[in-house]
Amino acid sequence: MTTLTLAKALNEGLRRSMEDDPKVLLMGEDVGKLGGVFRVTDGLQKDFGEDRVIDTPLAESGIIGTAIGLALRGYRPICEIQFDGFVFPAADQIITQLAKMPLRSLGTLKLPVVVRIPCGGGIGAVEHHSESPEAYFTHTAGLRVVACSNPADAYTMIQDAVRCDDPIIFFEPKRRYWDKAEVDLADPGLPLDRARVVRPGRDVTLVAYGPMVKTCLEAASAAEEDGRDIEVIDLRSLNPLDAEVLTESVTRTGRCVVVHEAPVFTGFGAEIAARVTERCFYHLEAPVLRVGGFSTPYPPSRLEEHYLPDLDRVLDAVDRSFAY
């Protein structure tokens, strides 16, 4: 067991992937000499060379387009999008090429490309640096979309993503980069497409992913003082979605609250709410409720604490569920 921050766990997972397969490449803005703005790739260019850890121009569309070409030639590129709001110039390559080419070729072409995206707010950043764009990509058929929430998952999930032959959008919760936890470097972890019950409970199910998992765990601990036993699920994979874990939990608790940083309106929580309602309708004691950001552009940093879902907003939704 080793104590690692989430950023260092990703670094160790990337290092292990590059050691295991010489075809694995890292590419992105400032990922080499600087080690990335969050130091996730720190030391990798020094150890693996400039041919495998590549500092690219400031051109996200070019980064993804180049990665597609490399994947077609047998490489396994890992692309870093420096901040979540920078991914949109690359959307054309991701949506019209990366997601569609395997089916376009009837499966004869594989595109094992991982697109790493630091996501979410909470770091006091300027505009375009605190977005939650997951719903754009979960709606894009042909992409896997995953989100780690803790160091142990970060370490195993990034390795699983690199080994996968499908294109993967890999979300990293940037305000959790410095959270520390024990990581068993010998533990292979759960399969990449499985959800995890991170806190068992019997009264209500909280569903979250990425940065909101920690917030939900804090809310569950606070609710325990009021005698409520809350179950918390970390989805880990958004597409494909592990509906079986959701169904089992909500069938047992009868209540469900979905939490994410992105705006509630047409956010990924809407899919969770619909899926749970379809599968658990006769077991629900209340409607599935959603907690998220407001339907506004992400605000200036001095206002973000009012925008981001916090413990009180999560517990308010739990109270509303019990009011039915």
Within a domain: 70: yes
Residue 98's nearest CA partner among 34, 166, 35, 36 is 166
Which pLDDT score is estimated for 214? 98
183, 205, 224: which is the final residue of a domain? 183
Are 39 and 124 contained in the same domain?
yes
Are 203 and 153 contained in the same domain?
no
The one catalytic residue among 129, 139, 283, 306: 129
Helix (H) or strand (E) holding 250, with range, is helix 243-253
Are 174 and 202 contained in the same domain?
no
Are 53 and 145 contained in the same domain?
yes
Within a domain: 293: yes
Which pLDDT score is estimated for 271? 97
Are 41 and 66 contained in the same domain?
yes
Residue 145's nearest CA partner among 103, 87, 220 is 87
Which pLDDT score is estimated for 280? 97
Are 56 and 205 contained in the same domain?
no
183, 217, 237: which is the final residue of a domain? 183
Supply the DSSP symbol for 106: T
Are 124 and 29 contained in the same domain?
yes
Within a domain: 13: yes
260 as an active site residue: the answer is no
Which pLDDT score is estimated for 190? 96
Which pLDDT score is estimated for 95? 97
Q: Which two tokens stand for residue 75?
A: 């490489």
Number of C-beta neighbours around residue 266 at 10 A = 12
* Rounded Cα distance, 276 and 91, in Å: 30
Residue 292's nearest CA partner among 217, 236, 215 is 215
Which pLDDT score is estimated for 67? 98
Domain count across the chain: 2
Are 256 and 141 contained in the same domain?
no
Q: What is the CATH number of the domain that holds 217?
A: 3.40.50.920
Within a domain: 188: no
183, 215, 245: which is the final residue of a domain? 183
Residue holding tokens 């499985």? Answer: 194
- Whether 80 and 36 have beta carbons less than 8 Å apart is answered as yes
Range of the domain at 297: 196-323
Are 9 and 122 contained in the same domain?
yes
Within a domain: 265: yes
Which pLDDT score is estimated for 15? 98
Give pLDDT < 70 ranges for the chain: none
